[in-house]
Structure 1
Amino acid sequence: MTAIPSNDQSRLDVTLDPHNENNLWVSTYYGANGQKVYNSTDGGLVWVNKTTASLDGHSILDILYQGGTNDAVYVLTNYGVLVWDGASSWTDYSVGLPYYTRGLRFKPFYRDNKLRMSSDRGVWEADFLVESDPMAHPMVASEFVYCIRDTIQFEDHSFLNHTNATWAWNFIPAPAYVSNPNARNPKVLFDATGTYDVLLAVTDQNGVTSTDTIIDMITVDNQCFTDTIPGLSMLCQANNGHALVPDLDLPQTDSLTLSAWIKPTGIQDSYSGIVFNDGTSAGINFRAGNELAYHWPGGQWWWNSGLIVDTNQWSHVVLVAKPTGITIYLNGIASTHNFSLSPADIGTMRIGSYQG
């Protein structure tokens, strides 16, 4: 890219045509009259001056190319908004704005066919000078799916006026489920590992269609399958049998989740630890009668959760610590003790023991 032939290049703003990366427009805030806006159609090798007398006396604060048009370009100045007519001149586009606009930035809002502007005097919007042709672009929160049971929601991030618009999604190979291939944001279930291509076609109210295909947009793995090897659990045969967890090094922790599958043989002694911290008393344990309980600084070890663990059966137990209290779960059933929790230093922990 070569330098623009302006008298000043200390503050430049750049915009480009989303359909053509070589079509660049540049404005200069401190440019002299006749040296304020330049255009290049070859990626910045050669610049053409697009300044006219209409910009005399204006300081240009921002410049925006409206995608899907034949060079509809807007400039925001200290006195208002002007738009390039696609041929040879800048036209005032400031109807409804204060005389001294004191503008800051432009943002396009293609969904509603709007140009939006922030300024020291509020946020303003107006219709685009012309309608944009659509430019399709599918989007998803993550390109990786780690479980074939997860439902993935896609979203349309196209340049598209949504008034009377239509959508058509296609996924290759075909997934197990698509909520609605003609929705703006369908939900999809991929039941097989591998990569998937995603195609989105959008059509505006004028019948103009844009299509975008992203090859290998989604990669599906299956890391949530059932364990096929039985017997991988810890069996505590002695009264003091337990496992020691290496130092977790979590100083001053006020948010922590501990979970375990347990199968108690008979009624456990009061304060038998399930997962419990050494040092500061913090963790999940039994009270009398196999009732789930907790210890945590600022809490109440004598609090009644009401959650009783069955003997000789597998149960899933969870402790969730937050600054606002402790929640204990037994097979998905919650019991919460609300209090102002104090941070705890979490270091080595013991599975199956109250601090050894």
Structure 2
Amino acid sequence: MAGSVRRAAMCNCSTKLISDSRAARHAARRHSGHKAIAWPPEGSIGWHVILLREVSLADLPILSKLALPPQLEAADVLALRDQLAARVAAVLRPKGRKRADSEVVLPEGLEPLDALPPHIDLSWRRFDAAAKELQAFRARRADALANEAHTASDETEQNAANADADDRWRTFEQWNAGAASLSDDGESPSPSEARWLYAQLFPAPEGLRFITRRPRAQWTAMVQRMSVLQGEKAQAVIAGFGGARHMKQLAAAHARFGKAFGFTAAVVQPAGGPSDGRPQWVAAREALRVLLQRIEGHADPEIAGSEALVAFLLGPYVELSDDVARDRRRTRPKKDDPAPTPSP
């Protein structure tokens, strides 16, 4: 009785059986083409077997039609798969293997099984495979989104590196111009050597325009100028006019620019990830729906332990349905509340 009530609660339809024996016998005669059938005692197993054999399957009522909650999410399905997997593992115990102390104690009326009933086992394997496909898609999509975020951070770093290099070159130009504008006082290095360095780095009419070029053109121009700065004569000017700190910061900005834009370290743009997971989602939902129907349909008062097995396996789905229903009630607006404005 408890199993029948549970099955009715699990199904979103009404179940109607042919209970009138006279009407059933009449239907059997009409579809079988026989004028009379030798019926076993009414209500016996043989009576039910002949009834189901003789009546056309097309005329039998649909006994169960399960509709999954529309609010069901992919995370719900994947978590439900894990719960079902744990219960399937708990109920399976091959012959000859003793129960370990760490194993789950099965509910009363449910004995360990060597294997799931074939129709349940096949549907379980299909659902498990579909759920794994859905989970793999979600993992690929999460990885792609993370790569996109990383790419965005790379672009931010490029902008920052470009701005840093531009500022350092402007500062160095101002320092070099200051040294070149000094009058000759007989000390070494002389201001004329500073003017030489300025002409090497910022020749007219180019000046500082190279820092406004596209990254590749700017990088090529900067590399040429940095090679000048590494020379012995340029180093003497830098040291003699106190430009060591300017040079150190310029070199750091140059290295940052080269790394950010992939001139000194490879920068690989990640390939775009999957975006449409509807096929995996639909397949997982349908496989779950079929599995639940197979489990629910296994319950039979005349098969010992079948109702206990059904209740045990369907337990996680019953909990999930209750959770979804509670969430729906919490989010449902009250009559006095204004209707929420739909998001664009």
Task: State TM-score, norm by structure 2.
Answer: 0.17
More relative contact order in 1 or in 2 (CA 8 Å, sep 6+)? 2
More strand by share: 1
> Under a length normalisation based on structure 1, what TM-score does the superposition of the two structures give?
0.17
Question: Whose radius of gyration is greater, 1 or 2?
Answer: 2
